[in-house]
Structure 1
Amino acid sequence: MRTTTYSRLAAALAPVFILLTAGTANAATCEEAFVKKGNPITGLRFTAAVTVADLPPAVAIGQMRGLVAAKGYDIMADEAEYGSMLIEQPMTGGARAFPIQISATQTGGIGTVVMEAKLRAGQATKADAAMAEMCGMLNQIKGGKAGAAAAKKGATATTIAAAPVKISALGFSQQVSKDTERNAAGILTRYKGKQFTIDGLVDYVTKDGKDFRVGYKIPQPYEQAIRLPNQAPFKTDIVCYMAPGQAAYSLQLKPNKSIKLTGTVDDFDEYKHVIWLKDCRPAL
């Protein structure tokens, strides 16, 4: 499986490697090697790459981790020893996340680092903006002792916490459901620890031990007046565990009352289709 994946990636990035391996002295810059493929309807693909002397794969990935974490990207997988990393452009209230694969190799003492961004169908951005973002990071990669020092520092970097994402309960449910349909294994990696401000209607309020639990009212797909194209055939329920000190607020809630709560994603059940948030409070 690993060999097949790498083979496909190598084939897709062949034009970039041809430019970069034409000779060290004449190696293309990141901007010259930048490639755009596809379109917003089928899905855009952007590829950027750099070559750096004395750059082992693990050192390259260590540096990239520090760079992407500082810019707020979600780190989905980090296999530095294999020269591989998967990151995502974080979701916003109006757009789903999309993946960016980073691969590092070394031949004859020369390291090559490649980034490939895969936008989802319907998503769009200008090629110049994509090139500036990707090359802006790749051009910071260093080789030799300076690169090793930067990699050591970046290897333990964590993504900077972003402001809570504002989204409707139905919109959040649909996004999580679609992500579950694609690959449930990535849900907690993508969402756990992130804050969301979710507005919707109360489905129920109950007491769970010492905690108050509030469920959002989410209609089944077949109950929705308007269904999105390629929508998942199931819903994901959203449950908020209220923060301490919210008893008075919780006891005043009732079914079908409008609520807007800010909480942190804590857990997920792919079989029951439920995502739980903790420390929920009324949004200001």
Structure 2
Amino acid sequence: MTALRLAAAFAPVALLLTATPVRAATCEEAFVKKGNAITGLRFTAAVTVADLPPAVAIGQMRGIAAGKGYDIMADEAEFGSMLIEQPMTGGARAFPIQITATQTGGIGTVVMEAKLRAGQSTKTELAMAEMCGMLNAIKGGKAGAAAAKKGATATTVAAAPVKISALGLSQQVSKDTERNAAGVLTRYKGKQFTVDGTVAYVTKDGNAFRIGYKVPNPWEQAIRLPNQAPFKTDIVCYMAPGQAAYSLQLKPDKAIKLTGTVEDFDEYKHVLWLKDCRPAQ
């Protein structure tokens, strides 16, 4: 991926195990690349491990993925299914990674398929190293069960704030909303952003100061992105305690750069709220 580590989503096991070899193929040998950067790349990898129930495999994968900074979008360990995402950066959108675990005759199979968005790319060897590195860490038996128990409650390691413009963040959230609004808050909540832009308004909301960023509607923009959502998402910051003096000196059209944590989202009003905002250093 462009400036990305890599992610993975899974394909049917039959795609990888079309025959029953005498020796099971390694993850690297079974690795498959499809598509292209224009339409969207797909990378698929799989491993087989003895004595590996689906729930145990997914529990381990949660711990592995969280430790590497992937976002956990959905975790249905009892059904052998998980969806993770390579997090967005200031210059690249997040992309999904589905993980599927099955077991037949005591042998567990875990499949990952990374679905990059159109325009994203990465070298095949980097994708293979990332995906197989994760899959090859999965264990079976008692060691696997112990690792799954520990990984089942793992949370994603906090990353440094993503630096992005208010317009860029608005466009990304709007596009995510257009695709599937149900995943927006899961994807963004708890993440820190350093957002630069200009003030639309400053108001007092209870005990906190609320600052809105000026974000133009799509039809007001001088340059529009291809396939851009037909609406904007407003970006609003609730200032942290102790920021009254700073907030009271702001006025419309003043340049600002604030760091805050995403707290809430309204898919109908198209608003993303950040809390505990402070001027970026």
Displacement after TM superposition at 1:18 (Å) = 1.8
* Per-residue Cα deviation, 1:177-236 (whole angstroms, up to 9, x for no partner): 000000000011000000000000000000011110000000000000000000000000
Q: Alignment partner of 1:44: what SS?
A: strand
Matched with 1:199 is 196
Matched with 2:6 is none
Structure 1-normalised TM-score?
A: 0.94
Show structure 2 runs of 5+ residues with no match: 1-9
Query: Which AA in structure 2 matches 1:16?
Result: L
Instruction: Give me the whole-angstrom Cα distance separating, in 2, the residues matched to 1:149 and 1:18.
Output: 32
Matched with 2:4 is none
Matched with 1:129 is 126
Instruction: Give me the whole-angstrom Cα distance separating, in 2, the residues matched to 1:14 and 1:131.
Output: 19
Aligned with 1:153 (options 146, 150, 153)? 150
| Runs of 4+ off more than 6 Å | none
Q: Alignment partner of 1:111: what SS?
A: strand
Matched with 1:15 is 15
Q: In 1, are the aligned partners of 2:188 and 2:262 still within 8 Å (CA)? A: yes
Displacement after TM superposition at 1:14 (Å) = 2.9
Q: What CA RMSD, in Å, does the superposition of the two structures yield over aligned residues?
A: 1.0
Query: Which AA in structure 2 matches 1:250?
Result: S
Q: Alignment partner of 1:241: what SS?
A: strand
Matched with 1:47 is 44
Query: Which AA in structure 2 matches 1:68?
Result: A
Matched with 1:117 is 114
Q: Alignment partner of 1:26: what SS?
A: coil
Q: Alignment partner of 1:38: what SS?
A: strand
Instruction: Give me the whole-angstrom Cα distance separating, in 2, the residues matched to 1:18 and 1:68.
Output: 28
Instruction: Give me the whole-angstrom Cα distance separating, in 2, the residues matched to 1:110 and 1:160.
Output: 31
Matched with 1:267 is 264
Instruction: Give me the whole-angstrom Cα distance separating, in 2, the residues matched to 1:261 and 1:123.
Output: 28
Q: Alignment partner of 1:18: what SS?
A: coil
Matched with 2:105 is 108
Displacement after TM superposition at 1:17 (Å) = 2.2
Superposition pairs of residues 200-219 of structure 1, within 5 angstroms: 200-219=197-216
Percent of pairs with identical residues: 85
* Per-residue Cα deviation, 1:28-65 (whole angstroms, up to 9, x for no partner): 00000000000000000000000000000000000000
Q: Alignment partner of 1:272: what SS?
A: coil
Aligned with 1:169 (options 158, 166, 169)? 166
Q: In 1, are the aligned partners of 2:234 and 2:272 still within 8 Å (CA)? A: yes
Instruction: Give me the whole-angstrom Cα distance separating, in 1, the residues matched to 2:112 and 2:105.
Output: 21
Matched with 1:247 is 244
**Do structure 1's residue 138 and structure 2's residue 135 form an aligned pair?**
yes
Aligned length: 272
Q: Alignment partner of 1:205: what SS?
A: strand
Give the direction of change, closer, same or farther, for the CA distance of 1:9–1:135 in structure 2 (3 Å limit): closer
Instruction: Give me the whole-angstrom Cα distance separating, in 1, the residues matched to 2:85 and 2:221.
Output: 30
**Do structure 1's residue 257 and structure 2's residue 254 form an aligned pair?**
yes
Show structure 1 runs of 5+ residues with no match: 1-7
Superposition pairs of residues 44-123 of structure 1, within 5 angstroms: 44-123=41-120
Q: In 1, are the aligned partners of 2:11 and 2:113 still within 8 Å (CA)? A: no
Instruction: Give me the whole-angstrom Cα distance separating, in 2, the residues matched to 1:62 and 1:212.
Output: 42
**Do structure 1's residue 278 and structure 2's residue 275 form an aligned pair?**
yes
Query: Which AA in structure 2 matches 1:262?
Result: T
